[in-house]
Chain A
Amino acid sequence: MNASAHPAPEFKNPVVRWIDQRLPIFTMLHGEYVVFPMPKNLNYFWSFGGMAMVVLVIMVLTGVALAMQYTAHVDLAFDSVERMMRDVNYSWLLRYIHMNGASMFFIAVYIHIFRALFYGSYKNPRELVWIFGVVILVLMMATAFMGYVLPWGQMSYWGATVITNLFSAFPLIGEPIVKWLWGGFSVDNPTLNRFFALHYLLPFVIFAVVMLHVAAMHQAGSSNPTGVEVKSQEDTITFHPYMTVKDAFGLMVFLFVFAFFVFIAPNYMGHPDNYIPANSLSTPAHIVPEWYFLPFYAILRAVDFQFLWFVPAKLGGVLLMFGSLLVLAMLPWFDTSKVRSCRYRPIYRWCVILFVIDVIILGYVGGKPAEGAYVVISKLATLYYFAHFLVITPVVGWIEQPRKLPNSISESVLKGS
């Protein structure tokens, strides 16, 4: 299903034709985004990848404009952001778009990931698509984390301190690594400068990985809600106009929600303490990361005991947190079922839903102080998170009796199963 399978039409525009003969970019675009065959039964869950892409573009555009006003120095950063909010034309808007854009990016990507989990899109032959996706998630987390440090408020400073200190958990190399990350003895001006440099760089790396993600996906074609592969042309529609119109509608609804946050509740997903300038002598009573990090933060804190005899509590938490992303990346190899879509998996569909509930619970306790019942809940939920990948997914794959698959996408659409 690669570009060469869809020969381009004779382009009418002579300039287009001239360029295309020398660099077949229009042929490529025509093959991948105009006549590209899409399964005809895609639902709106398939629109979130495109939405995430649009948010990425918005983040780069607003980010570059903000960078023109921003000063990466511990004495000036906070005030330069306040100046944007008060004095620079429309900078308040750009900043609110950028701030809420980070949240909207994670909303789109988390739903996009849920789609893959439920419909089994990660399975053979799309494992690499999936792994590139997890790489994008990790890069997004790094980017958003460093961006949040830039306004140099209390949450910026203490979030940066706690997260960089995680690396001190590694024996021997831990302390040198942390000093190297900081460029000093604590989070300070060198740290802010390098975070700004990396925050500017990483989104472009994300772009590159998105290209790989999409290229790998076009090799196998999109998956679909039945999980049955495309068998004939009957099963497909062309990308344009069918998907472009559908995605455009989904995007409009998404942008509407985005605009609601930007204009009506711009600080709803943020934390008020970040409007207090950073103070290295006093930690806020209750540090919480941004909402999109909470499930992972809960996993990090869940380990407050010695793990076996050689892993101290601090290291255990760090390993589990990284491990939670690793098992996610390895999911295609834990899933033993031949059937892709949960539509035809009577047991596993509930497992996926329980898993989502588990992640929501983790997110909830991650935002609460680590005391009392929250500690117990976070431990159980962490245990379940890993059990889902390491035990439940392979075992259900073996014992489950899947429902009968339709012979083709067309059959399922016509019979409405």
Chain B
Amino acid sequence: MSESANQEDGVIRRDFLAYTALSMGVIGTGAALWPVIDSMNPARDVLALASVEIDISAIAVGQSITVKWRGKPVFVRHRTAEEITAAEKVNLADLPDPQTDSSRVEKPQWLVMVGICTHLGCVPVGQKSADAKGDYDGWFCPCHGSHYDTSGRIRKGPAPRNLEVPPYQFVNDTLIKVG
């Protein structure tokens, strides 16, 4: 009796040691793998994101330009008065991703956004006056049919969010700095 109790005791202690050793091994291997995984994350030089300065003096009302920032297109649009009123008039309850127009701009006539569809990353069309602009007169993503309004907000289609507004500031009246 006492012998079998002893044996049981021994088995349990051995199991404990075995499990401890195994978990240490797993944790150690995991820790050793981490540098490999993390090396695939954006590197320091990539993260040291250059900011870009954009001269907006030459953009006439109703025109847009596209500038590259962090490898992505940034849309700068000089909006017309009608576009601004259309964007401000929208009932927030009609929006899949509710945001007021004023929260998306520094100055109402200048709309600055990352020109990447929030669905799967295509560049929507609508920058040139001849482009299709979608059902809401803003931008249209041809990849899977997302429609954005004159504030760059998603209105229809598979994209879940509004076009992203990057961090930017007006250096002066004709110069903005993105990033």
Which of B2-10, B19-27, B137-145 lies on the face that meets chain A? B137-145
Contact B120 A281 (CB under 8 A): no
Render B91-116 as a binary contact track against A, CB cut-off 8 A, 1 for contact: 00000000000000000000000011
Bound-state CA distance A166–B160 (Å) is: 13
Assess A179 versus B122: contact at CB under 8 Å? Given A283-B143, A286-B142, A312-B160.
Answer: no
B49 at interface, CB cutoff 8 A? yes
Bound-state CA distance A186–B43 (Å) is: 13
Q: Which residues of A contact B56 (CB under 8 A)?
A: none
Counting contact residues on chain B (CB < 8 A from A), the size range is: 20 to 34
Q: Which residues of A contact B62 (CB under 8 A)?
A: none
Assess A185 versus B120: contact at CB under 8 Å? Given A285-B142, A287-B143, A313-B160.
Answer: no
Interface of chain B residues 37 through 72 with chain A (CB within 8 A) = 37, 40-43, 46, 49, 66, 68, 70-72
Bound-state CA distance A364–B179 (Å) is: 43
Contact B158 A313 (CB under 8 A): yes
Contact partner of A186 (CB less than 8 A), chosen from B37, B71, B125, B142, is: B71
A247 at interface, CB cutoff 8 A? no
Contact partner of B122 (CB less than 8 A), chosen from A194, A283, A312, is: A283
A79 at interface, CB cutoff 8 A? no
Contact B40 A304 (CB under 8 A): no
B121 at interface, CB cutoff 8 A? yes
Bound-state CA distance A182–B46 (Å) is: 11
Bound-state CA distance A162–B120 (Å) is: 5
Contact A158 B68 (CB under 8 A): no
Contact A183 B122 (CB under 8 A): no
Q: Which residue of chain A lies nearest to B66 when distances are taken between CB atoms in the complex?
A: A281
Assess A370 versus B145: contact at CB under 8 Å? Given A186-B71, A283-B122.
Answer: yes
Contact A301 B144 (CB under 8 A): yes
Q: Which residue of chain A lies nearest to B39 when distances are taken between CB atoms in the complex?
A: A183
Q: Which residues of A contact B119 (CB under 8 A)?
A: 165, 314
Q: Which residues of B contact A369 (CB under 8 A)?
A: 142, 145
Assess A180 versus B41: contact at CB under 8 Å? Given A280-B73, A314-B160.
Answer: yes
B167 at interface, CB cutoff 8 A? no
B165 at interface, CB cutoff 8 A? no
Assess A282 versus B43: contact at CB under 8 Å? Given A185-B72, A314-B160.
Answer: no
Contact A304 B157 (CB under 8 A): yes
Contact partner of B68 (CB less than 8 A), chosen from A183, A184, A281, is: A281
B84 at interface, CB cutoff 8 A? no
Q: How far is the CB of B115 from chain A (nearest CB, A)?
A: 8
Contact B160 A281 (CB under 8 A): no
A10 at interface, CB cutoff 8 A? no
Render A264-300 as a binary contact track against B, CB cut-off 8 A, 1 for contact: 0000000000000000111101110000000000000
A127 at interface, CB cutoff 8 A? no
Q: Which residue of chain B lies nearest to A281 when distances are taken between CB atoms in the complex?
A: B73
Contact partner of A185 (CB less than 8 A), chosen from B46, B115, B145, B158, is: B46
A50 at interface, CB cutoff 8 A? no
B123 at interface, CB cutoff 8 A? yes
Contact partner of B71 (CB less than 8 A), chosen from A194, A280, A283, A287, is: A280
Q: How far is the CB of A161 from chain B (nearest CB, A)?
A: 4
Render B120-149 as a binary contact track against A, CB cut-off 8 A, 1 for contact: 111101000000000000000011110000
Interface of chain B residues 157 through 173 with chain A (CB within 8 A) = 157-160
Contact A158 B73 (CB under 8 A): no
Q: Which 3 A-B pairs have the closest CB atoms?
A: A186-B71, A165-B121, A165-B120
Q: List 30 A-B contacts (CB under 8 A).
A: A158-B122, A165-B119, A165-B120, A180-B37, A181-B40, A183-B42, A184-B46, A185-B70, A185-B71, A186-B121, A187-B71, A188-B71, A190-B46, A194-B40, A281-B73, A283-B123, A283-B125, A283-B142, A283-B143, A285-B142, A287-B143, A301-B144, A304-B144, A304-B157, A313-B158, A313-B160, A314-B119, A314-B160, A370-B144, A371-B145
For the A-B complex with A162-B120, A185-B72, A314-B158 known, give 4 more contacts whose Cβ atoms are closer than 8 Å. Answer: A161-B120, A184-B70, A369-B145, A371-B145
